[in-house]
Amino acid sequence: MDHFLYRDGALYAEDVPVAEIAAAVGTPFYVYSSATLLRHFRLFDEALDGMEHLVCFAMKSNSNQAVLKLLGDAGAGMDVVSGGEYLRAKAAGVSGDKIVFSGVGKTADEMRLALTGGVRQFNVESEPEMRRLSEVATSLGMVAPITVRVNPDVDAKTHEKISTGKKGDKFGIPIDRASEVYALAASLPGLKVVGIDVHIGSQLTQLEPFELAYEKVKDLTIQLRAEGHEIIRLDLGGGLGIPYERSNEAPPLPTDYGAMVKRVLGDLDVEIEIEPGRLISGNAGIMVSKVIYLKEGDDRQFLIIDGAMNDLVRPAMYGAYHDIIPVNERPAGAQSATYDIVGPICESGDTFAKGRSMAAVAPDELIAFRSAGAYGAVMSSEYNSRPLIPEVLVQGDQFAVIRQRPTFDEMINRDTIPEWL
């Protein structure tokens, strides 16, 4: 459920007409619903009731300060994957002891940043990283709390670009080498082992791969404890999927996921961390765009819109599906049409949908891409010198621009021309 619904024939974001936002900020733009963000966070939080836990929002899915502040104030921790994300989380008021640092290529600078600013734990992904982190921590007179990310070799049954827990993926250490890697960790002076980390991929639409992975983590917990390691915390990653195509998808709910976690891991006496991104932010946002032209091709009709792959890259990058709806609702039985929906960028890949059947729309009409709150704005660029599009946050009947569209001058003046030219 989200808070983008038709009311009296017009699409609303909570209590604000989407057309009103479009008139204020221009198209294209992103708009997020506070109520949906909070609802999704709380669903996870409540799903793990009964076990000690922390829900760490994977902020790579949406890292706007306002979104982070909203979730942070509600009690969320953050899962960060770069120094920039770490600083963003801190700037949004999240305390270091609620920030988990993930990522396969953390630099010494990023380690120093997090150690000195405070961090809940590093999720370490390799032996060289382990040695580096121990050196950095020792040089600061500190000890870094760590988990080791293990690769459980399970098939997440998702898109190959977002599968991360299969043998051959670049992430984590093979689970059958965990014993020797944990022994190394215990021998390094700058590290303190606190747990195990696993993250098998994104947009998972079934619970089975999670369960298979968590069973392996459970066995590993018992084994590592027997080998003398203190495993007090399990970081179970993120990855629960959302229904992008609402008419025919129904991925498991956070409640089902939580019940499974409690069933598999409930008697281990561990604290649980989870790192959901998409399920918190995905359906909490839409991208609104305007139709520029309807163009008749030989055998198809192109809907040319003012949004493009630089604004929302998921369709071009992953072949991802987004529901696309008109902002002015059509009565039941209204005329529909079949379009190739494309942006203005000079690449054929700048295509949001091919042969999409939807309500017939006209030039200058507003359309909305659903489920665009995750991996939307954060992956945008200024390709073709199209300024980054604004982000708007709605709460009840109020809305605010939470990232301005840069002016052309601001965009252009970021370049500098050397004096010698």
Instruction: Determine the Cα–Cα distance for residues 46 and 253; give it in Å rounded to an integer.
Output: 12
- What x-and-dash track marks residues 279-298 binding ligand PLP by CB under 6 A? x-------------------
| Cβ 201 vs Cβ 239: under 8 Å | yes
- What x-and-dash track marks residues 380-419 binding ligand PLP by CB under 6 A? ----------------------------------------
- What x-and-dash track marks residues 211-250 binding ligand PLP by CB under 6 A? --------------------------xxx-----------
> Is residue 278 marked as binding?
yes
Instruction: Determine the Cα–Cα distance for residues 141 and 160; give it in Å rounded to an integer.
Output: 41
Peptide bond into 28 cis (omega under 30): yes
**CA 367 to centroid of chain Cα atoms:** 23
Binding flag, residue 129, ligand PLP (CB under 6 A): no
> Is residue 211 marked as binding?
no
Instruction: Determine the Cα–Cα distance for residues 194 and 182; give it in Å rounded to an integer.
Output: 11
Instruction: Determine the Cα–Cα distance for residues 263 and 30; give it in Å rounded to an integer.
Output: 38
Name the residue nearer to ligand PLP (CB basis): 92 or 361.
Answer: 92
AA identity, residue 356: R
Instruction: Determine the Cα–Cα distance for residues 90 and 83; give it in Å rounded to an integer.
Output: 11
> Is residue 20 marked as binding?
no
> Is residue 160 marked as binding?
no
Residues in the interface with ligand PLP (CB under 6 A) total: 17
> Is residue 347 marked as binding?
yes
Instruction: Determine the Cα–Cα distance for residues 10 and 298; give it in Å rounded to an integer.
Output: 34
> Is residue 249 marked as binding?
no
Instruction: Determine the Cα–Cα distance for residues 209 and 58; give it in Å rounded to an integer.
Output: 20
Binding flag, residue 72, ligand PLP (CB under 6 A): no
Binding flag, residue 252, ligand PLP (CB under 6 A): no
Beta bridge partners, 337, equal 358
Stretch that binds ligand PLP, among 18-26, 198-206, 313-321, 364-372 (CB under 6 A): 198-206
Among 102, 121, 163, 310, binds ligand PLP (CB under 6 A): 102
Tally of residues, the chain: 421
Instruction: Determine the Cα–Cα distance for residues 146 and 387; give it in Å rounded to an integer.
Output: 40
> Is residue 276 marked as binding?
yes
Among 40, 199, 233, 314, binds ligand PLP (CB under 6 A): 199
Q: For residue 1, give the nearest of 27, 36, 37 by alpha carbon.
A: 36
The pair of three-digit structure tokens given for residue 347, joined into one six-digit string: 């690449």
Stretch that binds ligand PLP, among 36-44, 212-220, 277-285, 289-297 (CB under 6 A): 277-285
Name the residue nearer to ligand PLP (CB basis): 164 or 310.
Answer: 164
Radius of gyration of the chain (CA): 23
Stretch that binds ligand PLP, among 7-15, 83-91, 195-203, 301-309 (CB under 6 A): 195-203
| Cβ 171 vs Cβ 102: under 8 Å | no
Q: Virtual CA dihedral for 54, 178, 262, 47, nearest 10 degrees?
A: 30
Q: Is 56 a catalytic residue?
A: no
Binding flag, residue 195, ligand PLP (CB under 6 A): no
Tell me 163's DSSP state. Answer: B
Among 40, 106, 216, 278, binds ligand PLP (CB under 6 A): 278
Give residues 10-69 in contact with ligand PLP (rule: CB under 6 A). Answer: 58, 60-61
Give residues 131-190 in contact with ligand PLP (rule: CB under 6 A). Answer: none
Spot the catalytic one: 226, 250, 332, 346.
346
| Cβ 235 vs Cβ 200: under 8 Å | no
Catalytic residues: 346
Where on the chain is the footprint of ligand PLP (CB under 6 A)?
58, 60-61, 79, 102, 199, 202-203, 237-239, 275-279, 374
Where is the binding site for pyridoxal 5'-phosphate, in residues? 239, 275-278, 375
Show binding-site residues for substrate: 278, 314, 318, 347, 375
